[in-house]
A and B are shown apart, each in its own frame.
Chain A
Amino acid sequence: MTAVLEARNISRDYHVGGTLFGAGRVVHAVKNLSFSLDRGRTLAIVGESGSGKSTLARILTLIDRQTSGELFMDGAAVDIGRTGVTRDMRRKVQIVFQNPYGSLNPRQKIGDVLMEPLLLNTDMPVAERRERALQMLVKVGLLPEHFNRYPHMFSGGQRQRIAIARAIILNPSLLVLDEPVSALDLSVQAQILNLLADLQDEFGLTYVFISHDLSVVRYIADEVMVMYLGEAVEYGSRDRVFEAPQHAYTRTLFAATPRADVESIRARLARKAAAAA
């Protein structure tokens, strides 16, 4: 089976602060990163804040170009610098951005936000577009009456769901999700994770799922990659990574996970009381 997505030695440098007087400096945001992902599988990426996850997400979704290294989709080499992005590629690959508000046009009603990809990328008649957009709204736990509202009229978590609805409305085959559930309450989070699982079962969707929430990652991932300072310091099956983490940073991450058990809460409250006395 050919992989849906394969990255070979991908790197991305940013040049910042170059002025007349100084050469500036180079940020190596992603360093020499490789992986391969089969159809219908989920790769979760966790890692330090600033370690290059969103940069990688933009490269995988053909928004930004790597400085070096190769990207393959369904076995074919992709280089947007040479060929640009075709309508067909756009349909196949979608992204849910980390910052949903920044990715929504403040003057566009939500209904139009959802119908736009259908307008641009399909020949669907308007009534069908409308129908599909309404279905999508309900699937992500919003209401038909939200159709005519503007982005600023929504809560953070509602906007995050709009971004998810927009990304899945075209039935992509690869979906990159950058912190897609961080603004959702546990119940809506469960609803969205279940929806993603349904779509994967039904259409064989492939996911790259970026998250800081290790319990979500443990629930959703087939494979896990841990990034630290631009490098993939750990990459393996979910069970392997969670049960036998190889890298010190991965172990540090696991150790820093907040504890919600009653004993830990008791101990913390006792410490606080002692410090105040």
Chain B
Amino acid sequence: MHLLEVRNLTVSFDTSVGLFHAVKGIDLHVDAREVLAIVGESGSGKSVAMLSVMGLLPATATVTADSMEFDGRDLLTMSAAQRRKIIGRDVAMIFQEPMTSLNPCFTVGFQIEEVLRFHLGMGRTERRARAVELLRQVGIPEPEQRLHSFPHQMSGGQNQRVMIAMAIACSPKLLIADEPTTALDVTIQKQILDLLVHLQAEHGMGLIMITHNIGVVAETADRVVVQYKGRRMEEAGVLELFTAPKSPYTRALLAALPENATGDRLPTIAGFNPEDLVAQ
């Protein structure tokens, strides 16, 4: 049994011009202590697929799947109340855009402590101490003082780290990290990746890492799924992906690395038909 197993997931949005199919039948699984990286085209349904697991899509979305199981429990048939207990505690997500998930009206300390109160029922002093510890773990200097900052008083990368602190606050069994290090310089990125890998080893956490950063994939992933236009193009062990990519899309993607620039323009990928691309 996998920690998370999703089979034949589809997500479509009801829009003014008809149905838009954002995810078109994706299979995905991750085990405890494993890092699954999801890479692929911008707009290919990576975030939407994971938000469907979290149950956080807007009402215009229709989700179907043959199965969606977390830790042996069926997420599709679970009641909303049961799901709320799991989400945020056993399954946590670092969202792609920190500023949309942090509340501008509350201090970051309050927001972290609220997670600890709601899911773990911690008392006030314990909460405060844990919040300071979490901010320290994500590399925020002067954490005691920073608890009192509002999101607009923090830099982009500081807010991103507050989000990470909130996501790991309850030691989740599964962490879904959607572009978790885009606003971080490489030294702090390294510190965060080391922290996530450490949590994995310590608590047996499963980690799904959505990222465009090929270096992050190389430094963290066990297995990689490549997505394009709502479909899975390829699934491979990390070494295999770098040494022998199967799908033409993956090969084209790797070729677009800035290091590969020849002359003064970069290679891009033009108009693939995803149906032709699925690796045989």
Contacts and interface: CB of A to CB of B under 8 A. Distances in A.
B228 to A, nearest CB: 9
Given A98-B156, A275-B201, A212 B189 contact: yes
Given A179-B156, A215-B257, A158 B43 contact: yes
A255 to B, nearest CB: 8
Interface residues of A, number: 66
B265 A194 contact: yes
Contact of A258 (B216, B253, B267, B269): B216
B186 A258 contact: yes
Given A16-B153, A101-B97, A155-B47, A185 B41 contact: yes
A37 B41 CA distance: 34
B135 interface: no
A190 B266 CA distance: 5
Contacts of B161: 49
B15 A149 contact: yes
B268 A260 contact: no
Given A185-B42, A256-B190, A258-B218, A14 B153 contact: yes
A37 to B, nearest CB: 20
Contacts, number: 179
Interface string A143-173: 0010011001111111001000000000000
B33 A276 contact: yes
Please provide the 5 A-B residue pairs with the shortest distance between their CB atoms, ordered closest to farther: A258-B215, A49-B157, A157-B42, A190-B266, A260-B218
Interface of B: 13, 15-17, 33, 39-43, 46-48, 58, 96-100, 141, 145, 148-149, 153-158, 160-161, 179, 182-190, 201, 212-219, 222, 238-239, 242-243, 252-254, 256-259, 261, 264-269
Given A155-B48, A183-B42, 18 more contacts: A16-B149, A48-B188, A50-B157, A53-B155, A54-B155, A101-B99, A145-B17, A148-B16, A149-B15, A156-B42, A156-B97, A185-B39, A187-B252, A187-B256, A214-B186, A219-B258, A258-B216, A258-B218
